[in-house]
Amino acid sequence: MYKFIFLIAFCTSLSVQGQKNIYESTRFDELSTSHSTLAILPFLTNLDLKNQMSQKDLISLEEKEGYAVQNALETYFSKRGKKKKLPVEFQNTKNTKAILSQNGITYKNIDVYTMKQLSEMLGVDGIISGTLDLNVLLSKGVPTDFSFTDYFSGNANYGRIGVKISDGNTGKLLWKYEKQINKKTGKNTTDLIERMMKLAIRKFPYERERNKDRKLK
């Protein structure tokens, strides 16, 4: 009996740890009033893979995963826009990559630039960026079969993702959403982003209903 209670308590604790964490700046309305176009950057990725590989190969894989999330977010917002128009548009990621490249900015050095500097270069009102910590190659797909023993072996958790929205004029953080990545999150990058954003969309600050709710309060 005690073992059963311990198992339930343990799983509940893990479930709480894996819940989404959403932050929104109290100045969001003030700073985002004139936002019309946002750019999506490749995510800064940290891979912790068990198999041995060269540092060069690891860096190359991290870059690939980072761009996979950028593309998945663009795909998600494109699909979302067909169902329901958002008050902001998203710069084509091909244009984003081209403009950054023309300014000598690559995946390897993009983190030395501020959100304000990047927004000015890209000609956008805000930036969507983020971080990705993984112990698997999510873009290649992961197994989704689940069992309680996965919790104890550590095979249930693949890492963590954080999505941020920053104001272009000030560079200030406006919104952040963090979520643990596990077998229930999604089988690949596109699936992860779709499931994750479906959970966050009611709190996504550019949703029209949410803005209306704010005005009514």
Condensed to tens digits (0 to 9), the pLDDT of residues 69-93 reads: 999 899 988 888 887 788 899 999 9
Q: Is the pLDDT of residue 41 over 60?
A: yes
Maximum distance among all Cα pairs of the chain, rounded to whole angstroms: 65
Q: How many domains does the chain have?
A: 1
d(CA 90, CA 39): 6
Asked if residue 139 belongs to a domain, the reply is yes
Residue 144 lies in a domain: yes
The arithmetic mean of pLDDT across residues 196-203, rounded, is 70
Residue 12 in any domain: the answer is no
pLDDT of residue 9: 40
Q: How sure is the predictor about 151, in pLDDT bands with cuts at 50, 70 and 90?
A: very low
Residue 172 domain-assigned (yes or no):
yes
Residue 20 pLDDT > 70, yes or no?
no
Give yes or no for residue 187 having a pLDDT over 70.
Answer: no
| Distance from the Cα of residue 41 to its chain's centroid | 10
Q: Give the whole-angstrom CA distance, residue 10 versus residue 210.
A: 35
Total-model pTM: 0.78
Q: Does residue 203 fall inside a structural domain?
A: yes
The residue with tokens 């805000």 is 126
Judged against a pLDDT cut of 50, whether residue 25 lies above it is answered with yes
Determine the pLDDT at residue 52: 67
Encoding tokens for residue 13? 């604790």
Mean pLDDT for 174-199 is 77
Asked whether 130 and 178 are in contact (CB, 8 A), the reply is: no
CA 71 to chain centre: 11
Which CATH number does the domain housing residue 52 bear? Answer: 3.40.50.10610
CB distance 196 to 215 below 8 Å: no
Position 35 confidence tier, pLDDT thresholds 50, 70, 90: very high
**Average pLDDT of 94-122?**
97
